[in-house]
Amino acid sequence: MVASRAIGSLSRFGALRTLRCRGYICRSFTGSSALLTRTHFNYGIKGDVAVVRFNSPNSKVNTLNREVQSEFIEVMNEIWANDQIRSAVLISSKPGCFIAGADINMLAACKTPQEATRISQEGQTVFEKLEKSTKPVVAAINGSCLGGGLELAISCQYRIATKDRKTVLGAPEVLLGLLPGAGGTQRLPKMVGIPAAFDMMLTGRNIRADRAKKMGLVDQLVEPLGPGIKPPEERTIEYLEEVAVTFAKGLADKKITPKRDKGLVEKLTSYAMSIPFVRQQVYKKVEEKVRKQTKGLYPAPLKIIDAVKTGLEQGSDAGYLAESQKFGELAVTKESKALVGLYHGQVLCKKNKFGAPQKEVKQLAILGAGLMGAGIAQVSVDKGVKTLLKDATVAGLGRGQQQVFKGLNDKVKKKALTSFERDSIFSNLIGQLDYQGFEKADMVIEAVFEDLNIKHKVLKEVEAVIPDHCIFASNTSALPIKEIAAVSKRPEKVIGMHYFSPVDKMQLLEIITTEKTSQDTTASAIALGLKQGKVIIVVKDGPGFYTTRCLAPMMSEIIRILQEGVDPKKLDSLTTGFGFPVGAATLADEVGVDVAQHVAEDLGKAFGERFGGGNVELLKQMVAKGFLGRKSGKGFYIYQEGSKNKNLNSDMDSIFASLKLPAKPEVSSDEDIQYRVVTRFVNEAVMCLQEGILATPTEGDIGAVFGLGFPPCLGGPFRFVDLYGAQKIVDRLRKYEAVYGNQFTPCQLLLDHANSPSKKFY
Amino acid sequence: MTSIWTYTFKNLPSTSKWALGFCVRPLSCSSQLRAGPAVQTKSKKTLAKPNLRNIVVVDGVRIPFLLSGTSYKDLMPHDLARAALLGLLHRTSIPKEVVDYITFGTVIQEVKTSNVAREAALGAGFSDKTPAHTVTMACISSNQAMTTAVGLIASGQYDVVVAGGVELMSDVPIRHSRKMRKMMLDFNKAKTLGQRLSLLSKFRLNFLSPELPAVAEFSTSETMGHSADRLAAAFAVSRREQDEYALRSHSLAKKAQDEGLLSDVVPFKVPGKDTVSKDNGIRPSSLEQMAKLKPAFIKPYGTVTAANSSFLVERQRSSFNLLRTDGASAMLIMSEDKALAMGYKPKAYLRDFVYVSQDPKDQLLLGPTYATPKVLEKAGLTMNDIDVFEFHEAFSGQILANFKAMDSDWFAQNYMGRKTKVGSLPLEKFNTWGGSLSLGHPFGATGCRLVMAAANRLRKEGGQYALVAACAAGGQGHGMIVETYPK
C-alpha cells in the first residue's frame, strides 16, 4: 500500500506548509559578544556557546538550498575558527518549524541526473564537516524536522527536541520519489538501527518527539511551555535554547556524553545486525516487501535499500557515492515529477482562494447519521466544531454516534488522543431526532439517501427552521445541485459538498457550486472543509460533477471487461498493477454496487451513448440478488468478518454468463485492458476541464488521486498526459475507438494538446 | 529580582519587620508600594455590609503537621480530624450541643470513612444530632469547608459551624486493578463451581498489579510537580531563585516556631507514641546543600527539586511521587451576634471570597494570580490595604511564577483581561511565619491553617486586612479577605 501511504503522508507533509505562524520573533540576547546578521542565519555567543539561529526571510518555513548551505558553512567556519567558542547550538527562530526539508524547487530545476547528484554531494560535504566538528553542535528542534532538516540534525553531535505535537521528525523523500540524499541513507541506519531506518525512509512517516527519543533519534526532550512572561511559542523556543546551551556546555566540558544506554531489545537487534547473514536476510525481506507493494511502479524505495546496503557492506565512501548517484537518477524520473506535482497541488488545494467567509461555521448540523453523515460529524467535532447530528430513527442515530465514538476511540488506542480528550471532543456532538437547535446553525450538511424527492423534502423542512445566514450543503455524489436547489427559497445559500467514504480517511472534498451559489457561501464551505483537514477542489455543477463523472465511464469499461470474460481477480491485479491503490472490482464492492448502479443510470441518461460500454443490467442483477458489495457481505467477492482473504463470489458466474460479450482480441491484451480503463478516465477528465467543470488541471489531478485513487505515480490525469504524451494517449483512444466507437473519441482539448506538443497542462 | 529575594531572606530572621520593610522598599520598582503601611489609610474602614450577617472566626487550631511516615503513620484520617476537633473544643470551651453543623475538607479519601467529618465528630463526642459533611476541592478543600460554613451562617440556616480539614498521606487507598476488581465482583455472582472455575481460568498475573491513587491531573495526565517545573520555566524562574525562596520559607518558619508564634498548633498525644507538639518538616538548610539536589520531575535539567517543593518525598520513582504531609485543622465559625452573645472575643471576620479556575494544563498553579485582583475588587480594596498576605506555597517555583505573573502587564493583558498588571507583592508582608513549603501541606487541612495564620498575624502585627490565596489541582484557586476583629 505504498501508494495510499504516499497519499496519506503527503497530506501531513502539506499540512506543515500551512502551519500557523505568529510572525517572526525579534529577540535581543543578553551576554552576546558578537551578533552577526546574515540573510538566513544569525548567531550570538552565550558564554562560550555559539547560538546559531536559522530564520529564512519571507517564508513560514526554513528550507535548505545552496545559498542557505553556503551561508551555514560560513557561519560554522567562523565558529570553528573562534577560540572563545567551545560548542554550538543550532536552532530555528520559526515557531513550528526547525527545517522543513530541502527546497523542492531547487530539485525540480535539475535537468540532468548529474545536476541533482551535485546537489546531493554538496549537501553531503556540508554535513560531513558538521559531523566531524571538534566542537560539539547541539540541534535544538522545535517543529518539523524533515528531510534535509533531519539529515542536518543527525549530523550534529546531540539533539534536543520539544515534546510538542508539531515537532515531528521524518525522512519523507520517498513520498516525492526521492531518497535522503545528504547522508541520510548512511547515518540513519547507524543511529536508529537498520530496521527502524528502513521503516523511516521507506514509509516517510513522521515520528513524534517522544517516539524519537525512544528510538535514539533525539537525546533529550523539552516540554512545551504555557503562557508566562511571553507568548507560549516564543518562550518555549527560548527555553529550548537555554536548555540546549546547558547541554552544549556540558558536552564541551565532557560532563555529558552523547552516547545513550540502549535497551535490551535494541542491543539484541544491533547484535543481530552485526551478522552479515542476518543483514542479507533483512535486505531480502525488505526488498521483497517493497516489490510486492510498489509493483515496480515506484523506483525510489528500491534505490533507498540499495544505498543503505552499499554503505553498510562496502564502506561509507561507496555508500555516499551510491546515495548521491541514485539521488540524481531519481530526481529526474517521471515518478518523482508526478509526486512533486501532487505535493504542490496539495499545497494549493489547502488554501481558500475565495477568501475568508463573513461568518465562521461554529454550529454545524448534519442530517442523516449514516456512514457519510457520521463520518462528516467525526471530522468536524474533533476540530472543535459543535455539531448536531439528526437522524430519523433512534437506531440509525445510535449507529452514527457509535461510529463517531469508535473513530475517536481508535485514536485513543493509537495514543493520538487521551481518553479525556476523546470525551471532551465527543461532547461536541449532539444526537437528535428533531430540528431543535437548528435555529442557531451556521451550516447544514445533508447526507440523506440519494433521492431527489427526499433531498427536496429535507431542504424544505430545514429552510423552515434555519436562520437567514445558514448555508445548506448537500453531500451527494451525483445529483446535480441545481436540481436540489430548485425548491430552495435562497439558492445562493445552497452548495454541494461531496465527501468521500470513509470520511475520516479520505482527504478529498469536492465542492460544487451552481451559477446561483454566492461567493461567500463557497468561501464558507471551503473554510469548513479546510478546518476538517480536507484537500479541496471546487468544481462547477453538472451531472456527476468532476469525480463521479470521471469514474462513470471507467466503471462502464470495467463492466464491459468483466462481461468479456476477464475475472474480477485478474481485473483487480491489472488495475493495481497500473498503480491504482484499489482494484477496479474491489472498488465497486467498496463503493457499493447499488450506488454504482444509481450513478451509471443517472449519468447514462445525462451523457448517453458516450458513457455506454458495459451493460448496467449486470449491476441491476447484482442488486436484485443482494450483492451490494462489502456492506452486504457479497459483491464480486465474498466478505467475511475477521477474514482478510476474500474469495470470488461464485454466484456471480450465472450473471456473467447471461451477459457475456465476445472479447475483441485486438484490444484485449493486459496492457490494452489497462489503457482502456485509464484512457476513458483521462479523456473524461480533460473534457471536464474543456467544459469548465474544472477550473484548473491541478484540481483535476488532486481530485483524481485523492478522491478516486488515480495512480499517484502518474500524478493525476493531467500530469499523466503531460508526462506520457498527449499524442500517445490520442493514439490509444483512436485504436479503441475503431473497435468500440464514440466512447473512446478523444475530446477536443486532448486533440489540441496532441497537435501541438508544446502545449502542456503544467 | 534575585537580589531582592536573597536580600530579604538574609535580613528577615535578624531584623524587625519594619526595618526590613524599609530596606527592601527602595529596591522595589513599584511606586505604589513605597507608601509605608504606617502612613497608609485604608480604602474602607471595615468590610461589614449592610443587611448581611457578620461572620467571625472565634478561634482555630491544628495538630502539628508532620512528614508522612512519621508519628501519625499508624493512624487513620478520622483520628487526626478527631484530635483537631478535640483541640478546638479545648481551646474554645464551646459546649458541644451548641454546634449546629460540622464540615471538613479532605482530598484522598479513606474508603472506610468517606464522610470523615461525621466519623471524627462522633468520635470526638459531638452530639449525634449534629450533622456533618465532607467536601473536596483538592488543595483548597478546607477553604471550601470554611466558605461552606460562611454560606450556611450568612443565609441564616445556622449560627455555629465547625469547619476543618484533614489529610493522612501516610496511608492511602491502593486498589486492586480494574480487571481484578471485576473478576472479584463476578466471582461473587458466580453460582456454580463451573462458573467459578471458568472465571478463575481467566486470571492473569498482571491482574495483581495495584492501582495507586493518581497524583497526575486527570484531564492532562501531568503530575503537579511537572507542571510546576514548566510553569517556573515559562516565567523564567531560576533554580537559584527557587532555592532561595524555599530557604526563606524554612528560615521564617523556624523563627516563628522558635518564637512561639505558631499558636494555632495544639499538642497531640499519639496513641502508643510520644506527644507531638511541633511541626517536623521545618529544616533550614543551606543554598549549597540545596543546589546539590537533582531535579525531581523534569530530568535532568528541570528546576523543581525536593528542597523547593512542599515536603516532597525524595527518591520516589513511580508516579506515586507525592507531596506528602499528615495533619488536620479545625476552626469555630459563628455569626458575630451569637459569638458575642456567648461571650466570645472573636479573632477575625471572614469577608469576601472568590473561587477561580483556569487552564489545568499550562496554568494549573496560577490560581492566586487570578484570585487576588478578583477578591480585592470585590471587597473594594487595593493591594495597599492588605497588611498580611498568606499564600499557599505548593512549590517555590509556583509562588515565584505567581509573583511574576501578577507583576506582568503582558500576562494581565493577554490572559486576565486586565488593562494593567495586578502589581508586585510586598515580600515583607508575605508568609512571614513560613508557609506550606516549610510547615508542610496536608492537602485537605492547609486552608484553615492559612486563615488562622492570617488572623494571628493581623493581631500580632496590628494590621487590619489579610489576603489568603491558594492554588489547587484542576487549575482552580481561592482568595479570601480576612479582617481582624477590633480589640
Give every CB contact of residue A73 below 8 A, 6+ residues apart in sequence: A126, A129
**Which of A213, A220, A225 has the highest number of chain B CBs within 10 A, making it the mutation to test binding with B?**
A225
3-state DSSP assignment of residue A444: strand
Helix, coil or strand: residue A477? coil
Q: Are residues A489 and A554 in the same domain?
A: no
pLDDT at position B40, please? 59
Average per-residue pLDDT for chain A = 91
With an 8 Å Cβ cutoff, is B259 touching chain A? no
Residue A71 domain boundaries: 41-332
**Residues with Cβ within 8 Å of residue A265, at least 6 apart in sequence:** none
- A502 and A558 assigned to the same domain: no
Q: Of B298, B363, B415, which is closest to A223 when you measure between CB atoms?
A: B298
Residues of B annotated as part of the active site: 139, 471
Of B230, B361, B410, the CB nearest to A229: B410
| pLDDT band, residue B22 (cuts 50/70/90) | very low
Catalytic residue from among A510, A557, A684, A699: A510
- Gap from A288 CA to chain B (nearest CA, Å): 39
Q: What value does the mean pLDDT of chain B take?
A: 89
- Domain assignment present for A343: no
Q: Which residue has the higher pLDDT, A462 or A415?
A: A462
**Omega before A502 within 30 of 0, i.e. cis:** yes
Name, in order, each residue with C-beta under 8 angstroms of A253's C-beta and a sequence gap of 6 or more.
none
Q: Which residue type is seen at B321?
A: N
Cβ B481 vs Cβ B42: under 8 Å: no
Which homologous superfamily is B55-173+322-484 in? Thiolase/Chalcone synthase (3.40.47.10)
A188-215 pLDDT per residue, tens: 999 999 999 999 999 999 999 999 999 9
User: Which value does ipTM take for this structure?
Assistant: 0.88
Average pLDDT value for residue range A266-281: 89
Q: What is the pLDDT of residue A592?
A: 87
Query: How many structural domains comprise chain A?
Result: 3
Q: Which residues of B93-104 are buried (b: 16+ CB within 10 A; e: fewer)?
A: ebeeeebbbbbb
Would you say A467 and A441 are in contact if contact means Cβ atoms under 8 Å apart?
yes
Angle, CA A697 vertex, CA A176 and CA A716 arms, to 5° = 45
Instruction: Check if the beta carbon of residue B299 is closer than 8 Å to that of residue B192.
Output: no
- Quick one: average pLDDT of A390-406? 97
Work out the pLDDT band at A45, boundaries 50, 70, 90: very high
Q: Residue A695 pLDDT more than 70? A: yes
One-letter amino acid at A693 equals I
Q: Is the pLDDT of residue B13 over 60?
A: no
Whether residues A750 and A683 share a domain: the answer is: yes
Question: In this structure, are A593 and A627 located in the same domain?
Answer: yes
Q: Which pLDDT score, from 0 to 100, does residue B239 have? A: 96
Give the other-Cβ count within 10 Å of B15's Cβ.
14
In a domain? residue A322? yes
Q: What is the pLDDT of residues B185-206, one digit of tens each?
A: 999 899 899 999 999 999 999 9
Q: Is the pLDDT of residue B10 over 50?
A: no
Give A427→chain B minimum CA distance, Å. 15
Q: What are phi and psi of B266, to 5 degrees?
A: -115, 140
**A591, A582, A584, A585: which is closest to A628 by C-alpha?**
A591
Other CB atoms within a 10 A radius of the CB of residue B194 amount to 9
Tell me whether strands B55-62 and B325-335 are parallel, antiparallel or unpaired.
antiparallel
Residues of A in contact with B362 (CB under 8 A): 225-227, 232
Cα distance from B410 to chain A (closest Cα, Å)? 7
- On whether residue A115 sits in a domain, the answer given is yes
Instruction: Tell me, yes or no, whether A32 lies in a domain.
Output: no
Of B387, B356, B345, B382, nearest to B483 (Cα)? B387
pLDDT at A37: 60
User: A510 and A590 in one domain?
Assistant: no
Q: Cβ of B410 and A235 within 8 Å?
A: no
- State whether A417 and A492 are in the same domain: yes
Q: What is the pTM of this model?
A: 0.89
Q: Does residue A529 sit in the same domain as residue A598? A: no
- List the single residue in A229, A247, A420 with the smallest CB-CB distance to B235: A229
Any B CB within 8 A of A223 CB: yes
Instruction: Please tell me whether residues A473 and A553 are part of one structural domain.
Output: no
Q: Which amino acid is at B31?
A: S
* pLDDT tens digits, one per residue of A740-760: 999 999 999 999 999 998 999
pLDDT digits (tens, 9 = 90+) for A487-534: 999 999 999 999 998 899 999 999 999 999 999 999 999 999 999 999
State the average pLDDT over residues B77-102. Answer: 97
Q: Is some CB atom of chain B closer than 8 A to the CB atom of A283?
A: no
Most A CBs within 10 Å: which of B217, B223, B241, B362, as the mutation test of the A interface? B362
First to last CA, chain B: 38
Instruction: Report the C-alpha gap between A407 and A248 in whole angstroms.
Output: 44
Q: What angle do CA B459, B461, B464 make, to 5 degrees?
A: 60
Look at residue A162 and tell me if it is in a domain.
yes
> What's the pLDDT at A38?
83
Tell me the average pLDDT across A544-569. Answer: 93
Identify whether A65 is part of a domain: yes
Phi, psi angle pair for A495, to nearest 5°: -150, 160
**Residue A8 pLDDT grade (very low, low, confident, very high; cuts 50, 70, 90):** very low
Q: pLDDT for A15-36, tens place per residue?
A: 333 333 333 333 334 334 444 5
A229, B236: Cβ pair inside 8 Å? yes
Nearby residues of A175 by Cβ (< 8 Å), 6 or more positions away:
A6, A9, A10, A13, A204, A339, A343
What is the CATH number for A602?
Answer: 1.10.1040.50
Dist. CA A696–CA B122, nearest whole Å: 82
Q: How many CA atoms lie within 13 A of A441 on its CB side?
A: 27
Report the DSSP pairing between strands A647-648 and A97-99: unpaired
> How far A428 CA lies from chain B's nearest CA (Å)?
17
Q: Which residue among A542, A557, A572 closes a domain? A: A542
Which of A517, A542, A567 represents a domain boundary (last residue)?
A542
pLDDT by residue (tens digit) across A154-200? 999 999 999 999 999 999 999 999 999 999 999 999 999 999 999 99
Same domain, A597 and A534: no
* Total residue count of chain A as it appears in this document: 762
Residue A642: inside a domain: yes
pLDDT tens, position by position, A638-660: 988 777 778 889 889 899 999 99
* Dist. CA B271–CA B76, nearest whole Å: 12
Residues A671 and A741 in one domain: yes
User: In this predicted structure, which of A254-268, A316-330, A341-355, B19-33 has the lowest mean pLDDT?
Assistant: B19-33
Q: Which of A519, A542, A565 is the last residue of a domain?
A: A542
Q: Do A231 and B414 touch (CB under 8 A)?
A: yes
Closest to A532 measured CA to CA, from A665, A674, A673, A383: A383
Same domain, A528 and A618: no
Give the per-residue pLDDT at A24. 35
The rounded distance, in Å, linking the Cα atoms of B300 and B305 is 11
Instruction: Say if residue A603's pLDDT is above 60.
Output: yes
What's the CATH number where A84 sits?
Answer: 3.90.226.10
Task: Give the residue carrying C-alpha cell 492559612.
Answer: B450
Same domain, A730 and A591: yes
Residue A706 domain flag:
yes
Contact B404 A226 (CB under 8 A): no
- Chain B residues 320-359 within an 8 A CB cutoff of chain A: 359
pLDDT band at A94 (very low <50, low <70, confident <90, very high): very high
d(CA A719, CA A5): 20
The predicted structure's pLDDT at residue B395: 94
- Domain with residue A461: its CATH number is 3.40.50.720
Confidence of residue B28 (pLDDT cuts 50, 70, 90): very low
